[in-house]
Amino acid sequence: MFWGGGIGARNIYNYNSRKEVATPAAGAPSPQMIVSGMVTVPGDKSITHRLLLLAGLCPGRSRIGSPLTSLDARSTASLLRALGVNISPLKIGGNVVVVGRKRFLPPGVVLNCGNSGTSARLSLGLLAGHHFTVSVTGDASLRRRPMKRITEPLTLMGARFGGKLPDRLPLRLRGGPLRSIDWEMPVSSAQIKGCLLFAGLAAHCAVNLREPSGRSRDHTERLLRSFGYSVLEDSNGWIRFQPNGKLEPFDLVVPGDPSSAAFLVGAALLAERGELHLLGVGLNPTRTGFLAILERMGGGIESVRQGIAAGEPVGDLAVKPSELFGTVVPPSEVVGVIDELPMLAVLASRAHGESRFLEVGELRVKESDRLSLLASNLRAIGAKAAVEGNNLIVEGGSAPPRGKVKTEGDHRIAMAFEVLNAVPGARVKVDNLECAAVSFPGFSESLKKILSKRSSR
């Protein structure tokens, strides 16, 4: 056991208790953090990428409402323009119009995906089915991330890769006719799954996939089904794709990104009074695992489903300040909360008792080594945290968090620790909050909008 007491000790706490009204201390009034507002979050990053790419292969004019306009989304738009697709500028609060083509044109430049692993992996899947050679690269962070997970199965399908390192960008891809594949994925990953399904789409061949542990987000499957493609999951966990549909121009609205919403949910839970309403958030079951974990920790969160957007369930979230308690996140839950783990770990540092996040080694190969960064930054602000193998252990505490946070340019690390400034008395200095624009443009402004300090008396 890491610290005295351990997991068993947390059972003494009441998981349904709340701190909606705090009792002021005697003497001078102390400020309280109040949360309020009815706000929206940026469009879903995963869905925006996929709609842009699919619209690029739809001959005709498609309209995407409320897309994410972050740096990552702009990377996908930029590479599509280099492939001969006409895309209007991505503007906050606006729509984007895409005039696609039946097949991409050979680019005259190296395709630069910036910091976006989704742009790189999904586009390589589509490009593998095209009869030309293309080079793909990214920024320093993306060039460190593993690519063998997609190059190996794409090579078995018939694509050819070259580059200094077969497991890293930059890569040179020679696409062409592909053959069907049965592939047991090394890790459960929506990017790997989406890449191979898109390869089958572009090359008109069957693809059968099996995820080893848990179900990753299923946006690709939902979108392909909406175009008439057969994407079935059998009783043994195999996803079976048949290229029997047809891409046609569309007019769809992107739901709010639940991963972005997680940071505002976290800020609301850490406040002392009030209530926050988040409107039009995607409620896809493969994306809302973090809500179930937070409710288990005592979080006062209610979701109300309102309808469907882009084939996805959408609704509103109501969040109240809450007293949180430690929990265990087992490996079966990790795949569904991989992007929300930084926020969950930060909240665990404010909870009663110990929390354990088990088998989260996949965090090591995200935009940074998130596993090490989370532990070191938690310690830097005065919390107790440690990495044991692939497990992250966090001990909750009540002292105001104070210290400097190193992000290494990781947007989710930056936003998670900035949320801790909602705690009265906090002095957390995030070294690069600007990197939040990778997924959540205007994050700082949104955080300030929902929070205010008032005297308790």
| Residue 137 · residue 169 · CB < 8 Å | yes
Measured between alpha carbons, how far is 135 from 111 in angstroms, rounded to an integer? Answer: 6
Residue 44 annotated as catalytic: no
Is the bond preceding residue 170 a cis peptide, omega within 30 degrees?
yes
Backbone angles phi, psi at 81, to 5 degrees: -60, -40
CA triplet 161, 165, 171: central angle to 5 degrees?
Answer: 40
72, 316, 339, 410: which one is catalytic? 339
Among residues 453, 419, 369, 365, which one has the least CA distance to residue 187? 365
DSSP-derived pairing of the beta strands 133-137 and 171-174: antiparallel
Q: Is 147 exposed, middle or buried (0-12, 13-18, 19+ CB in 10 A)?
A: buried
Measured between alpha carbons, how far is 291 from 295 in angstroms, rounded to an integer? Answer: 6
Backbone angles phi, psi at 76, to 5 degrees: -65, -45
Catalytic (active-site) positions: 339
